[in-house]
Amino acid sequence: MRIALVMLPCWSVFTPPLGLSYIARILRQEGQSVTVFDFNARLWRAMQGQDEDWWDFAQYEHWQNSQIFEEQTLPAIKPLLDSLLKEIASRGFEAVGFSVFHTSAPCVRYASKMLKATCPKMKIVWGGPACTPQWVKEDLEDGTVDAVVLGEGEATAPELFNALAKGASISSMAGVAARGADGKMICGKKRPPVLAHELPLPQFDDYDLSLYQFFQLPIMMSRGCTGSCTFCQETVFFKPYRMRPAAHIAEEIEQGIKKYGIKDFSTCDSLLNGNHKILEQVADLICERRLDIAWGGYARLDPRLTVELLGKLQKAGCKWLSFGLESGSQKVLDLMNKGISIEQAAKTIRVTFEAGIETHINLIVGFPGETESDFDMTLDFLSRNWQFISLVNTGETLGVGPGMTLFEKPKAFGILTDKQGQVLYDINGGWMTKDGSNTLAVRRFRLKKLRRLCRDLGLQWNPESREQALSVTPNGGEQ
């Protein structure tokens, strides 16, 4: 079967997509003919030099909000996007698989409808973190998509595409949502999680590595997370937590150096330190094999990140660790189910910095239940610990979407819902609490305060390009 695997915007353009690399390698091992298209990176490159960077983090709402996408984003990218889709349609592919994230979902929906109109016999397959039964139901039943992979795709994709090639039924296949005989969606039973050590090494021969923002490769040391934060989607998609053997990770690093000439690696893990023993083994192997590399990633504020372990990580080329602090209020951390204390967080940040590793801090602005006093505690934490912090990721205030506990149980967090009990969004995609104390305007006001403090402290913060030093009123207005 001739298969095209496609990444559409909006997604990171730092490195080539890792998920498609795994799927392509596995499908080829099964004898399928696979071509990978990173239209996300190609569109980004083609639109460089314009006044507005549509791939800026602050622009994500223009991609993931369907109404904003159709009214503003699509008109800007349509000529280029349609040209790329014609490239797919003209090459005789029998199936197209799209990697779907919440930020790319409206674009994938548009592309799928276009391809179905042009090539009615082409099979359209979706997979990725955005693919939940609730979200794909309407698209499956109206024929926009033929099959949806639910959960991790490495084991499901070969069986699914083999069945599509033979014209066999897929309506009861494990890990797949499809149409039944009556046209209604049928979801197969849940497929067991992929064992990390069974995955092949990904290959990046499909990509023009000069397209990307950084000359680096993505690498996955683990899947899942040991935490269960109520704002997180990944802990639902990748469950349970698994870490690859240290030798397998070292082998992949060596492949990147020898085959692609790359010594800079970007980890795709929810957290690097879910298994501190294996993480230490990875550091030891990097040093033993004298692999001269630079890397970093997300980590949990865990007391098992000892001075000794941090020293080994630094010697093994770990340049930065990005910690999910999220808030300086213990009350808010408990509402998030973070499982960390403010005191331990401050200590881990300090010892990481003193070990010679940059500390990046991720914050969430406007979690339901966060009061102005709670938010001031976050500002106070930064004021007390700024000298140990290399970068603050401020985000663009808290979003609430499918997969999160916040989204699945909004009433438990006091979030305003519609008559069906679903989260109620305003025209800008903003949510609010039932008592009106937490709105998009309130969250934006707090975000301005956070960014201004970072500026005043001399802290580097991201995404800095969007911020301007304006005085802001609590209702979201600017003076």
364 in the same domain as 228: yes
In a domain, 200, yes or no: no
In a domain, 449, yes or no: yes
Phi, psi of 127, deg, nearest 5: -160, 155
In a domain, 201, yes or no: no
150 in the same domain as 36: yes
225 in the same domain as 165: no
In a domain, 476, yes or no: no
Which helix or strand (DSSP H or E) is residue 176 part of?
A: strand 176-179
> Alpha-carbon distance 7 to 15, whole Å?
12
CATH number of the domain enclosing 455: 3.20.20.70
379 in the same domain as 338: yes
Count Cα atoms within 13 angstroms, Cβ side, for 442.
17
Amino acid code (one letter) for 139: D
267 in the same domain as 391: yes
In a domain, 471, yes or no: no
- Predicted pLDDT at 22: 95
Q: Which two three-digit tokens encode residue 9?
A: 């915007």
28 in the same domain as 93: yes
Torsion sign across C-alpha atoms 447, 453, 455, 459: negative
371 in the same domain as 453: yes
pLDDT block averages, 10 residues each, the chain of length 479? 97 94 95 97 91 80 88 94 96 97 95 97 95 92 96 94 95 94 94 83 94 95 91 78 94 96 94 96 98 96 96 98 97 96 97 98 97 98 98 92 88 95 87 96 96 96 58 37
3-state secondary structure of 104: coil
Domain count of the chain?
2
- Predicted pLDDT at 464: 67
> Alpha-carbon distance 379 to 269, whole Å?
28
Q: Which two three-digit tokens encode residue 308?
A: 């000794």
> Alpha-carbon distance 366 to 369, whole Å?
8
Rounded to a whole number of angstroms, the CA Rg of the chain reads 23
Peptide bond into 240 cis (omega under 30): yes
In a domain, 448, yes or no: yes
402 in the same domain as 275: yes
169 in the same domain as 60: yes
150 in the same domain as 10: yes
Q: Which two three-digit tokens encode residue 10?
A: 């909006």
In a domain, 194, yes or no: no
CATH number of the domain enclosing 117: 3.40.50.280
- Predicted pLDDT at 468: 41
Buried b (16+ CB within 10 A) or exposed e, 136-156: beebbeeebbbbbbbbbbbbb
- Predicted pLDDT at 432: 96
- Predicted pLDDT at 266: 92
417 in the same domain as 291: yes
Buried b (16+ CB within 10 A) or exposed e, 388-418: bbbbbbbbbbbbbbbbbbbbeebeebebbee
For 142-162, the pLDDT digits (tens) are: 999 999 999 999 999 999 999
The distance from CA 214 to its chain's CA centroid, rounded to whole angstroms, is 18
Structural domain harbouring 77:
2-187
CA distances to 311, 350, 388 from 357, in Å: 9, 10, 10
In a domain, 192, yes or no: no
159 in the same domain as 29: yes
> Alpha-carbon distance 295 to 318, whole Å?
5
CA distances to 199, 309, 345, 359, 427 from 277, in Å: 21, 9, 21, 21, 48
- Predicted pLDDT at 438: 97
Q: Model-level pTM greater than 0.85?
A: yes
